[in-house]
Structure 1
Amino acid sequence: MTNNAPCRKDLLCLINRVSFAVDDVKLFLDTHPCDANALAYFHEYSKLRNQALKEYAKYYGPLTIDTTMTSCTDRWNWINEPWPWQEGGC
């Protein structure tokens, strides 16, 4: 970890907020699949979520299987990191 690492707790809070937004709009899109504004919102927040997950994985280890390649290049080491709920969460 470098001195330029973002605050772990702040990054987890951001991930929680954008993940909630993505999940919420996914439910809306289930019943309104042609809503262009909702679809644009989904794409925007999905992109923000993916960026935040990649940044978290870069500094603290992956939270999802999708981001394991970012931080586990030589061995399966993410099990050694503190789990998100061990840090107090948001």
Structure 2
Amino acid sequence: MKTVPSSYYVHLQQLQEVDFVILELTLYLDTHPNDIESIKQYNHYVKERHKLKEQFEKNYGPLTNFGYSYTKQPWEWKSSPWPWQV
């Protein structure tokens, strides 16, 4: 199994926390589609997730494949820890 620095887990947890908030807001907005403050929160966390994901991938490689993440040269997907390896 590949080893990763402890900061990898800190940054991964940050992404997971933001993903949780986005999911909860999505479920809430499904039943409260006119709640402007929640829509603002949702958009804020989507923007934050984009930044966190970009920084994570810059430091550790792509999180996903199939066109959802950019890659550097050479192809990074095979050299990054895969989700089931961490």
Q: Map 1:10-89 onto structure 2 (within 5 A).
A: 10-64=10-64, 65-68=67-70, 72-87=71-86
- The amino acid across from 1:73 in the alignment is K
TM-score by length of 2: 0.80
Which blocks of at least 5 consecutive residues in structure 2 are unaligned?
Answer: none
Residue 67 of structure 1: SS of its match in structure 2?
coil
Tell me how large the CA RMSD over aligned residues is: 1.9
Alpha-carbon distance, 1:31 to partner: 1.1
| Percent identical | 32
Which blocks of at least 5 consecutive residues in structure 1 are unaligned?
Answer: none
Bigger helix fraction: 1
Q: How many residues align?
A: 80
Alpha-carbon distance, 1:86 to partner: 2.1
Residue 66 of structure 1: SS of its match in structure 2?
coil
